[in-house]
Amino acid sequence: MGELSAVYLSVHTPRYCTHEAAFAGKLAHPDFQAVRDGLVEQGRHVAAVRPDVIVINSCHLITTFPTVVDGTPRHRGVLTAQEAPELIHGVAYDFPGDYQLASALADRGRAAGRPCVLADDVHYPLDYGTVMPLVCYLDRTQTIPIVPVSVCLSADLEESFAWGRDIARAVGAADRRAAFVASGSVSHKLVRGPERWPGVEDQERDRRLAAMLADGEYEKAWRWLPEYVEASAPEMGGRHLAMMLGALLESGRRYAATVHAYGPSSGSGNYVISLGDGLRRTL
Ligand SMILES: [Fe+2]
């Protein structure tokens, strides 16, 4: 039997996910340093866990009606981010895929009556919320197979949560030691000004959510999520958080937690949190 070995809440905002930020340490503002360093640590955590596959739910792989599970056996391309071509341009990626796991996951979704499409197409592009955290921080070797899963605008929190449950079930049945990555912000009330922080109340709610994750209170976090979404408007309506909580709860485990960092980007709040037995350091 496989298992969900680790779960990551990660960051993809272009301020952190550029070649300059990741490799040269050149950041536009000192407030970005903690998250950049946290992402480096999260990469070490992934290296320590060394999962067989990474299932990643990026807030920029957006579909309208079905959830898309990308089972393409090899994800190869060159990315220029549509909304930030001045920051993310010409990034080559070449990750193995996991068609078998993706297909099994899509089958589970369909069997449960959730609209779903399995992609298997070398021209299906990866978005920057998938590519940049992986290329710059979480798997710089690009050797761990990945299965991208979309955020679906027609899916509510319950449906997103159900996908998370099925991810944990599918990796168990497929005999994989898998990691799940939720790539997205927590509070997400965007404003112009890259260095701007969320408001005080939004920061407090973000910290409350992080504390629940760190304390293993996944059920409590799931019950609170609708209220949190209403108040703090997390990225993509919090669907990535719902999927993450579904995976956590279905695993039946309480993971060791490392809260690496929290920081701003254009009014959003961004946590770097690793759940699993990698490198442990709780801030
Ligand atoms: Fe984003």
Ligand 1 centroid from CA 198, angstroms: 15
Ligand 1 centroid from CA 188, angstroms: 9
Ligand 1 centroid from CA 177, angstroms: 27
Ligand 1 centroid from CA 20, angstroms: 19
Ligand 1 centroid from CA 175, angstroms: 32
Whether the per-residue pLDDT at 283 is higher than 50: the answer is no
Give the mean model confidence (pLDDT) for residues 2-14: 96
What pLDDT score was predicted for residue 133? 96
Give the mean model confidence (pLDDT) for residues 53-63: 98
Domains for the chain: give ranges and CATH numbers. Answer: 3-276 (3.40.830.10)
What is the three-state SS of the chain?
CCEEEEEEEECCCCCCCCHHHHHHCCCCCHHHHHHHHHHHHHHHHHHHHCCCEEEEEEEEEEECCCEEEECCCEEEEEECCCCCCCCCCCEEEEEEECHHHHHHHHHHHHHCCCCEEEECCCCCCCCHHHHHHHHHHHCCCCCCCEEEEEEECCCCHHHHHHHHHHHHHHHHHCCCEEEEEEECCCEECCCCCCCCCCCHHHHHHHHHHHHHHHCCCHHHHHHHHHHHHHHHCEHHHHHHHHHHHHHHHHHCCCCCEEEEEEEEECCEEEEEEEEECCCCCCC
pLDDT, tens digit (0-9, with 9 covering 90-100), for 193-242: 999 999 999 999 999 999 999 999 999 999 999 999 999 999 999 999 99
pLDDT, tens digit (0-9, with 9 covering 90-100), for 27-54: 878 999 999 999 999 999 999 999 999 9
Ligand 1 centroid from CA 58, angstroms: 8
Ligand 1 centroid from CA 240, angstroms: 11
Ligand 1 centroid from CA 278, angstroms: 26
Ligand 1 centroid from CA 186, angstroms: 10
Ligand 1 centroid from CA 174, angstroms: 30
Ligand 1 centroid from CA 12, angstroms: 6
Ligand 1 centroid from CA 129, angstroms: 7
pLDDT, tens digit (0-9, with 9 covering 90-100), for 140-164: 999 999 999 999 999 999 999 999 9
